[in-house]
Amino acid sequence: MIDLKAKPFYLKDEDIKWVEETIKGMDLIEKVGQLFCPVGVTDDEEQLKGFLSKIKPGGMMYRPGKGEDIRRTHKLLQDNSKIPLLLAANLEAGGNGTAIDGTYFGKQMQVAATDDEDMAYKLGLVSGREGRVAGCNWAFAPIVDIDMNFRNPITNVRTYGSDPKRVLRMARQCMKGMTESGLAVSIKHFPGDGVDERDQHLLSSVNSLSVEEWDKTYGMIYKGLIEDGAQTVMAGHILLPNYSKKLNPDLKDEEIMPATLSEEILNGLLREKLGFNGLIVTDATAMIGFNVAERREISVPKSIACGCDMFLFNKNIEEDFNFMLKGIKNGILTIERVDEAVTRILATKASLGLHKQKAEDTLVLDEEALKVLKCEEHETWARECADKSVTLVKDTQNLLPITSEKYKRVRLYVLGDSEDGGFKEGEQASDKVKQKLEAEGFEVDVFDNKKLDFREVFEGGIEELKSKYDLIIYVANIETASNQTTVRVDWIHLMAANAPWFVKDIPTMFISVANPYHLLDVPMIKTFINAYSSNEYVVDAVIDKITGKSEFKGISPVDPFCNVWGARF
């Protein structure tokens, strides 16, 4: 039974009337359409009108684009939908999660490194405000995974770290900022990523914690945020075997399913034990972790039958739509369960006031509102976050601060710094680092990873390097990305030509603006800095700190030494 007057909906009688009358006026095709939240692939008006008239989805999500373009597309969608849409974005690190000209505030781990809950609130506020002016009303954030396994290639800096209590403290403040901005949040990825070292984009991953361990960690976080009023939860393609077997002792090991297809995890744990009354959405169903668990013809309707209310993304939307209808015909999914899911979807929309905004034509704000994107206030907060977050992990050679008088000639090695990949924010750091150092009077020579000096690689000795350079700096921007198995340093394969073989002879510094765990691969480097995000505010803060203009204030949210012997030296 859904209580529409209770948390997280808090609907009034007039809102409940809208939900009930809307459902009564829908046929089966319209109800099934509400179950889908496909990814937007075009902004062509005629194509979108045709799609909306045929599928009538409950929501949509577009990848980031220019704010004015995203806003225009969102308005087109809302203007041509009888029932207002939930329009989503991965607003994990700022408004740039939907508008590329929005504020890249900082990755969640950067915010956690400030150990300042107000920074988490401001992340939520910036993300929410900028998402709202672009037409979004649903944030697939905050991430509430725990980065328990430093080898996990997908959680990493997208999390608030490895301490469950800090994750909860930060997430609840971020959630507060987003909801105050008029967005529904979706806390993710239930029942919790970060234990396995693998990526659920590539397989069904496993949270192997015991029931007791889960309750004290992920359970505590989800319970706290549900009590705080989280409107939606995103279920991951993640198995929770120990809880599955506790809730259903008759399950055989080979029958255990990822959360998106697990009735005991969705209903027994999330609904009953944790008391979640709101909307459950699947994680992206194009991910391999979903597709390898069950035949897609079965898994599409089964995900809703097992307790998910909304189906995120598709391989082929028309095929999945037909799979859903076929599942109803074959008895995998009942009409009663469809009605229950649609009720939660509409109730979520009503809780945001979307039905009233539809009548007032305020679902998407006027173009003038786009001025909030990357506004002065938001940039000021982002600079404050950068200043408080940059973390000096170690400086056992007493290198810092550096001056151009002492270390005039610098060789800069760049690792990663690509714009490709799933969660990359499109910010390259190395050019900015070079420019900032040169502005401070340093002479900077960038090692060319693509055009190797073969004489140096095969014949160059230490005296030659010492005659050219006073200081070596590594800048690593090796980011998390979907469908990526590792975020390790991968040296140039020819002689590891860019590896720090010279650390005993030339002062060497390593700056990571992404993955905080690179000491696993460079424990020999004596000066190591974690900055967590590659935005311009972070680069400015890093340069200020290594040149002594500002002190290091960041507190590491994880163990950057990876429990590796010698990494602390």
Q: Which of 272, 345, 339 lies closest to 36, judged by CA?
A: 345
Give the Cα separation of 61 and 96 in Å (integer). Answer: 14
- Report the DSSP beta bridge partners of residue 280: 233
Cβ atoms of 292 and 242 closer than 8 Å: no
* DSSP character string of 242-287: HHHHHH-TT--GGG---GGG-HIIIIIIIIIIS---SEEEEPPTTS
Q: Which of 313, 89, 125 lies closest to 201, judged by CA?
A: 313
Candidates 115, 283, 309, 417; catalytic one: 283
Q: Which of 298, 383, 296, 335 lies closest to 114, judged by CA?
A: 383
Count of Cβ atoms closer than 10 Å to residue 208 Cβ: 13
DSSP structure class, residue 146: -
Q: What are the phi and psi torsion angles at 238 (to 5°)?
A: -125, 130
Give the Cα separation of 478 and 355 in Å (integer). Answer: 43
Cβ atoms of 110 and 159 closer than 8 Å: no
Cβ atoms of 193 and 140 closer than 8 Å: no
Element (H, E) at 86: strand 86-89
Count of Cβ atoms closer than 10 Å to residue 339 Cβ: 13
CA-based angle 549:550:552, to the nearest 5?
A: 140
Cβ atoms of 208 and 195 closer than 8 Å: yes
Pairing outcome for strands 527-530 and 391-395:
antiparallel
Element (H, E) at 213: helix 211-216
Q: Which of 194, 158, 97 lies closest to 516, judged by CA?
A: 158
Q: Which two tokens stand for residue 257?
A: 């399913």
Give the Cα separation of 136 and 60 in Å (integer). Answer: 10
Q: What are the phi and psi torsion angles at 316 (to 5°)?
A: -140, 115
DSSP structure class, residue 402: P
Q: Which two tokens stand for residue 262?
A: 């697990």
Give the Cα separation of 233 and 221 in Å (integer). Answer: 12
Active site residue 490: no
Cβ atoms of 459 and 452 closer than 8 Å: no
Single-letter amino acid, residue 556: S
E strands of 283-340, at which residues?
311-312
**What residues are annotated to the active site?**
283
